[in-house]
Amino acid sequence: MAAPEPLSLERLYRVCDPEQLGFRTTEELAGMDRPPGQERALEAMDLGANMRAPGFNLFVMGPEGDGKLEMVQRLLAERAAREPTPSDWCYLNNFDEPTQPRLLRLPPGQGARWRHDLEQLIEELRSTIPATFESDEYQNRLQELQQQLNRRQREAFETIQKEAEQYDVTLLQTPSGFSFAPVKDGEVIEPEQFQQLPDEERKRYQEAIEFLQERLQSVVQQIPKWRKEIQQQVRKLNEEMTLLAVGQRIQELRQRYGELPVAAAHLDAIRNDIIEHVDAFRSGEQDHVEYILGRYRANLLLAHDPADGAPVVYEDMPTHQRLVGRTEHHVHQGALLTDFNLIRPGSLHQANGGYLVVDAHRILTQPLAWPSLKRTLSAGEIRIESLEQVHGFWTTVTLEPEPMPLRTKVVLLGDRMVYYLLSAYDPDFPELFKVEADLEDDLPRDTETQQLYARMLATLVRQRRLRHLDRFAVARVIEHGSRMADDSERLAAGGRAITDLLQEADHYATGDGAEIIGQDHIERALAAQERRAGRIRDRSQETIERGTLVIHTEGHHTASVNGLSVLQLGDFGFGRPTRITATARPGRGQLVDIEREAKLGGKIHSKGVMILSRFLASRFAPEGDLSLSASLAFEQSYGGIDGDSASVAELCALFSAIGRVPLDHGIAVTGSLNQLGEVQAVGGVNEKIEGFFEVCRRRGLTGQQGVALPATNVPHLMLRQEVRDAVAAGQFHIYPLSRVDEALELLTGLPAGVCDDAGEYPQGSVNRAVADRLVQFAKSQRRRGDGDAGDTPDTAEDDDD
């Protein structure tokens, strides 16, 4: 098996030829109404939007920052514009149960008119009712009723007086009431004179007075009844006059809204309440009058323009109250009070009849918001409840408004992990969100998709009102799309990163006074983005350059190799070399993963170490145990280590430690090993290569340096220009690996060696050196018995330049 040949320059970067794009600027291109490559997700969104059965809400999933929100809002807005406009809704006072306001549903556009009509009615009531009761007609009729009562009382007393005269008795009105007194010769008999009268005459007077008092008492007892009758007639008069004042106006409103039974019933209730409280209007107590009038208003919860179509609402702060609405309070004499006028809608109300878009992570982190949304979707109605009501306690006056029927399609946005966790652990979730729209992260890169990508860019610049791009700028963005996708054969689907790039490039074009965005503006924007995010990367490179972080980029060293890792800081990732060392001595088949022992290694890294240990055992001790005690470590690594992309490098370091074969440190290695010795693809190959290249460049390129990577990663290469320039000049090399033996030959300069039929490896090969040392370990182990071979490793790192 020969060492691999370095890759040609053409395989390190896939160029987009601007001349093959077929246009000069994106201004010549038609826009797109749908993003390219998202057919699967768009079909799911169409299904979810069209299904009216309960539970067919959507979960749109994709990686963070991929532009889901803008895409979903745009697609839903296009659909909603063609859909019918939902109804207007008002909350009205419930005159029977004021704590349970009633809902009124009106045709779109009629809610504002209804509220205006009621406000006009209120204004009319302020003036019409007092004027009506101050009119001459009312005063005359009221006076006539009072005179009628007075006349009836006067006639009753006159009748008593006439009867009294027949008995020589007169009726007197005193400060304490009415009384009778005897009369003789037209004069009232004084008490002293009355006592001097004969007994028989006194008795006659007394009997007459007693009889008349009974008659008077019967008349006096009738007076409250007469007054009550008059009061009833006054009330009837007041009702008649009130109806005269407002009846016609209310009847006009009933005719206008006659097709709405709730509106007609509410107008009747207003009329009856005005009649009941007409004295408040006559009293002139302004505060009381305003309180009465406030009960006749309409709290317009939702109003729509009939031409608007269905609403699309994005709730960026999905708390419980912002979703289902709230009831506000005001302070009166130290107490918190509320009424139907203080009911405020939530985003579920605002999106009713349309679409509500919510970020899944945000709603899950808000107390009670997720349960409230699920309860609303399950019940099919929006119930306004305060947090106190939900918890089951409250200490202030509160309302229980009539729930609003729900016709909202809810669209959750989130990453795939949130979707999978909800599906697994929330039994309600699959019933309420039956449609998942899984957005593609990338799309195939071919001639057709490059044209679609260019049209997507044309659409973005029009939407953002940016300058158009020339074909060279488009070609550079396409190439950057492949870099974002970590694949020369695919393109990142776009999203926020592409939009941000275009906006920054437009900024530089503005500074240059350019009419279009050129390739130079794209390059400057990319460089600026990298510089802003690259402080930690530059400091890391500086620690290597100063020797604080020990990395050899020249010469041959035993038991040590340069591995490659990627540090991800938010959206920015960069590669850097990592020194991997190994030790080996006689032992009992133990391979110590120091990262794992220190609890710095993750599960995938531990799996990789176990695989390489099994590969080592299967190659050199297929029928027994290795007489080996070895260890592996990532030097100067003080954080967590995970992933198996260093397992090929770890195996090379271990072979070097066992066989005392020096490795070339001018070549860094990345790749995952399987149990068959095959090298498997890993992630972040571009960043890893560029990280090692930067270390070598700062120290000075020797022409012997490079990176070995899995052959299956070659299609993923989209290396920066400076790396490609160094490769073109023969100063840096990229080697593809298919098997671990190729890495051994590349790093040692020796043949790996193939086992013959007798199980022997050829002299001078790497495998022979390892096999011979393992035989020595076995002999040493047998001499020592089963005891420990000692604390001093048999193999430490040696240099051989």
| Domain residue limits at 387 | 38-86+310-439
Domain annotation covers residue 298: no
Domain shared by 347 and 450, yes or no: no
- Choosing from 533, 565, 595, the residue where a domain stops is 533
Percent of the chain with pLDDT over 90: 60
Contacts of 625 (CB under 8 A, 6+ apart): 588, 589, 617
Q: Give the pLDDT mean for 107-134.
A: 87
From 613, 631, 645, 647, active-site residue: 645
pLDDT of residue 790: 44
Residue 325 backbone zone (phi > 0: left; psi -120 to 50: alpha; other: beta): left
The CA distance from 510 to 439, in Å, is: 34
From 347, 672, 688, 765, active-site residue: 688
Q: What is the pLDDT of residues 10-67, one digit of tens each?
A: 999 999 999 999 999 999 999 887 888 889 999 999 999 999 899 999 999 987 766 7
Domain of 669: which CATH number?
A: 3.30.230.10
Lowest pLDDT segment from 160-174, 678-692, 709-723: 160-174
Q: Give the pLDDT mean for 459-470.
A: 94
Domain annotation covers residue 206: no
Global model pTM greater than 0.95: no
Q: Where does the pLDDT of residue 449 fall: very low under 50, low under 70, confident under 90, or very high at 90 and above?
A: very high
Lowest pLDDT segment from 86-90, 547-551, 782-786: 782-786
Domain annotation covers residue 302: no
Q: Give the pLDDT mean for 714-719.
A: 97
- Choosing from 503, 533, 563, the residue where a domain stops is 533
Q: Give the pLDDT mean for 192-208.
A: 75
Lowest pLDDT segment from 402-406, 523-527, 567-571: 567-571
Q: Is 672 tagged catalytic?
A: no
- Runs of H (alpha helix) within 555-646: 594-597, 603-620
Domain shared by 562 and 642, yes or no: yes
Q: Which residue has the tokens 């095959």?
A: 678
Domain annotation covers residue 682: yes
Domain shared by 345 and 362, yes or no: yes
User: Does residue 288 surpass a pLDDT of 90?
Assistant: no
pLDDT of residue 781: 80
pLDDT of residue 237: 74
The CA distance from 363 to 355, in Å, is: 16
Domain annotation covers residue 26: yes
Q: Give the residue among 616, 684, 681, 687 at the shortest CA–CA distance from 650.
A: 616
Domain of 404: which CATH number?
A: 3.40.50.300
Distance in angstroms between the alpha carbons of the first and the last residue of the chain: 25
Domain shared by 383 and 494, yes or no: no
Tokens of 738: 């298919």
Number of domains composing the chain: 3
Choice between 259 and 153, residue whose per-residue pLDDT is larger: 259
Between 766-784 and 647-659, two packed helices, what is the crossing angle to 10 degrees?
60
Find residue 188's DSSP bridge partners.
183
Q: Give the pLDDT mean for 274-303.
A: 85
The CA distance from 745 to 735, in Å, is: 12
Percent of the chain with pLDDT over 70: 95
Choice between 576 and 624, residue whose per-residue pLDDT is larger: 576
Q: Give the residue among 789, 781, 788, 741 at the shortest CA–CA distance from 765.
A: 741
User: Does residue 672 surpass a pLDDT of 80?
Assistant: yes
Q: Where does the pLDDT of residue 789 fall: very low under 50, low under 70, confident under 90, or very high at 90 and above?
A: very low
Q: Give the pLDDT mean for 603-613.
A: 87
Q: What is the pLDDT of residues 415-424, one digit of tens each?
A: 999 999 999 9
Q: What is the pLDDT of residues 358-412, one digit of tens each?
A: 999 999 999 999 999 999 999 999 999 887 766 666 556 678 999 999 999 999 9
User: 672 vs 270, 710, 737, CA distance in Å?
Assistant: 80, 8, 10
Domain annotation covers residue 792: no
Domain shared by 424 and 451, yes or no: no
Q: Give the pLDDT mean for 770-799.
A: 67
The H or E element spanning position 361 is helix 360-364
pLDDT of residue 394: 59
Domain annotation covers residue 241: no
Q: Three-class SS of residue 542?
A: helix
pLDDT of residue 801: 45
Domain shared by 621 and 579, yes or no: yes
Report the C-alpha dihedral over residues 297, 303, 305, 310, rounded to 10 degrees. Answer: -160
Lowest pLDDT segment from 312-316, 491-495, 709-713: 491-495
Find residue 25's DSSP bridge partners.
470
pLDDT of residue 683: 94
Find residue 629's DSSP bridge partners.
585, 590
Domain shared by 481 and 389, yes or no: no
Q: What is the distance of C-alpha 656 from the center of its chain?
A: 53
Domain shared by 30 and 43, yes or no: no
Domain shared by 706 and 626, yes or no: yes
Tokens of 385: 């409840």
pLDDT of residue 392: 63
Domain shared by 347 and 451, yes or no: no
The H or E element spanning position 359 is strand 355-359
- Choosing from 533, 556, 588, the residue where a domain stops is 533
User: 131 vs 127, 139, 366, 479, 579, CA distance in Å?
Assistant: 6, 11, 55, 82, 98
**Rounded to 5 degrees, what are φ and ψ at 631?**
-145, 155
pLDDT of residue 800: 46
Q: Is 434 tagged catalytic?
A: no
Domain shared by 29 and 45, yes or no: no
Q: Where does the pLDDT of residue 797 fall: very low under 50, low under 70, confident under 90, or very high at 90 and above?
A: very low
Tell me if 45 sits within 8 A of 536, measured CB to CB: no
The CA distance from 404 to 757, in Å, is: 83
pLDDT of residue 231: 77
Return mean pLDDT, the chain.
88
Domain shared by 574 and 705, yes or no: yes
The CA distance from 543 to 559, in Å, is: 23
Domain of 450: which CATH number?
A: 1.10.8.60
Tell me if 426 sits within 8 A of 49, measured CB to CB: no
User: Does residue 738 surpass a pLDDT of 80?
Assistant: yes
Domain annotation covers residue 327: yes
Choice between 572 and 474, residue whose per-residue pLDDT is larger: 474
The CA distance from 67 to 46, in Å, is: 18
The CA distance from 199 to 338, in Å, is: 77
